[in-house]
Amino acid sequence: MKLLLVTVAVLCAFQGTLSKDYHAVPVKDGVSGSGITTHYWDCCKPSCAWAENLKDTSGTPVASCSADGSTKTSPSTKSSCLGGGAYMCSNQQPTMVNSSFALGFVAASFSGGVDTNYCCACVKLSFQDALQGKQMIVQVTNTGGDLGSNQFDIAIPGGGVGIFTEGCSSQWGTPSNGWGDQYGGVGSESDCAQLPDVLQPGCKFRFQFMEGVSNPGVTFEQVDCPSELSGITGCTY
């Protein structure tokens, strides 16, 4: 019995190690190139949370949540930014795995403008210039009419509400500009204290992992989604 327990413990430790190493497997004939990043957090239901926006419309769309940020809403619930009750789930914020690798979610466009073709696809971003050497695997959860081609708008709490001003004000009682500037969000790590506790780690990500570098450029390539991301959204490509 003891031996069995030890074996189980060793197996668990081994799996723990495995799941922390993200071997990004490129998707054959997937998208790649160079692009730009921006950041946002508008608290709205992301557009890949509508099944009709998925490549496989019978698939599970990205989870959206009620105002508490954690209770899942039905996929047919309207966005809080259009008068409904569906918000961005708080766990769709970025996480740092180590100082050179992170996981997160983005609104993205490859063609410029609203681009639903890649809802729930994953992309490995390799940061350039000041953040050279850092990589991030992101899942596309959202689109945006205000996005240019190859733009990755990283979902970062306190990153600016952008064009949709109703979500964070109804969910968290912020002014309609959200936290900080409507475009750009909070200006420093200490300003992250204005956010609810649950969103503060994601807010600080911009000043810790991303070192406060403003909108770094990237090269990108489409990769298989790690289960850590698809497990949070429930959506696969």
Ligand X SMILES: *[C@@H]1O[C@H](CO)[C@@H](O)[C@H](O)[C@H]1NC(C)=O
- Separation between Cα atoms, residue 164 and residue 80, nearest integer Å: 10
For 59, what's the count of Cα atoms within 13 Å in the CB-facing half-sphere? 21
Residue 23 or 28 having the CB closest to ligand X: 23
In whole angstroms, the minimum distance from the beta carbon of 130 to ligand X comes to: 18
Residue 21 or 197 having the CB closest to ligand X: 21
Residues of this chain that bind ligand X (CB under 6 A)? 20-22, 97-98, 100-101
In whole angstroms, the minimum distance from the beta carbon of 214 to ligand X comes to: 24
In whole angstroms, the minimum distance from the beta carbon of 116 to ligand X comes to: 29
Which of the residues are catalytic? 42
Give the helix ranges, DSSP H, for 115-183.
167-172
In whole angstroms, the minimum distance from the beta carbon of 135 to ligand X comes to: 8
Residues recorded for the chain: 237
Report, in angstroms and rounded to the nearest whole number, the Rg of the chain calculated over CA atoms: 18
- Separation between Cα atoms, residue 107 and residue 174, nearest integer Å: 22
Q: Which residues contact 224 (CB under 8 A, 6 or more apart)?
A: 24, 25, 27, 122
Residue 27 or 97 having the CB closest to ligand X: 97
Residue 138 or 168 having the CB closest to ligand X: 138
Q: Is 65 in contact with 171 (CB distance < 8 Å)?
A: no
Structure tokens at 88: 């961005």
